[in-house]
Chains A and B, each alone.
Chain A
Amino acid sequence: QSALTQPASVSGSPGQSITISCTGTSSDVGGYNYVSWYQQHPGKAPKLMIYEVSNRPSGVSNRFSGSKSGNTASLTISGLQAEDEADYYCSSYTSSIVVFGGGTKLTVL
């Protein structure tokens, strides 16, 4: 199973909005509404930010939102803050396994 495709890096200024894409196939992203997004700060464990395409776990800011169209899922962060600077990974359930994207480094300018 191939990894999902994410841009290597994105950047934005405080207060702006950014979107990170995650492209798969009809066998994973396109075939299931089980796309998740994880945030990882350096030296820390990943943290779930979005699950089942667009749901936020309790405690996650509503500045984070998720969507999906066809084989591409997206994570949007609005009102960028310095603490949002981190690596972001998408994942999709497919045929009993999990496939991750390669990760996107978000830089807050």
Chain B
Amino acid sequence: QVQLVQSGAEVKKPGASVKVSCKASGYTFTSYDINWVRQATGQGLEWMGWMNPNSGNTGYAQKFQGRVTMTRNTSISTAYMELSSLRSEDTAVYYCARGGVRRTLFYWGQGTLVTVSS
């Protein structure tokens, strides 16, 4: 069965960076895009971007351009999302999700809470 298992919660100071991992299993990792979506407490879903694990190609939401980097390690079927220059407004649960046609998000990770606090 398809599974996406994310790394554990993180606490960071303003200005720092955070790198969240997403380990895929149950399917061929390089065959489907990985998308990242975040959700602040009590708020809605916010799409951050996508990565093609085969080519490494990426596409980011305009809001995160210059601050987000999505990468992968195909040897261990793991995708990464790094967000830099963190501020308090970045406190949220970050989800990875396997994308289908036109970014339909069929499978989701369990989420990773990132807290930004001084």
A: which residues have CB within 8 A of B?
Answer: 1, 3, 32, 34, 36, 38, 45-48, 51-52, 57, 89, 91, 93, 96-103
The 3 closest A-B pairs by CB, nearest first: A93-B102, A34-B102, A45-B108
A contacts with B: majority SS: strand
How far does the alpha carbon of A87 sit from the alpha carbon of B111 in the complex, in Å?
16
What CA separation (Å) do A99 and B44 show in the bound complex? 11
Interface of B is mostly: mixed
Chain B's closest residue to A93 (CB) is B102
Given contacts A45-B95, A100-B46, A100-B47, contact A57 B106 (CB under 8 A): yes
Contact between B111 and A34 (Cβ–Cβ < 8 Å)? no
B45 touches A96 (CB 8 A): no
Interface size class of B (residues with CB under 8 A): 20 to 34
B16 within 8 A of A: no
Given A45-B108, A45-B109, A57-B106, residue A96 in contact with residue B59 (CB < 8 A): yes
Distance, CA A63 to CA B111, complexed state (A)? 28
Alpha-carbon distance between A52 and B106 when the two chains are bound, in angstroms: 12
Cross-chain contact A89 with B44 (CB below 8 angstroms): yes
Decide if B44 touches A102 in the complex (CB within 8 Å): yes
Q: Does B110 contact A (CB under 8 A)?
A: yes
Is the CB–CB distance between B105 and A38 below 8 Å?
yes
- Whether A52 contacts B59 in the complex (CB less than 8 A), given A45-B110, A46-B95, comes out as no
A54–B19 alpha-carbon span in the complex (Å): 36
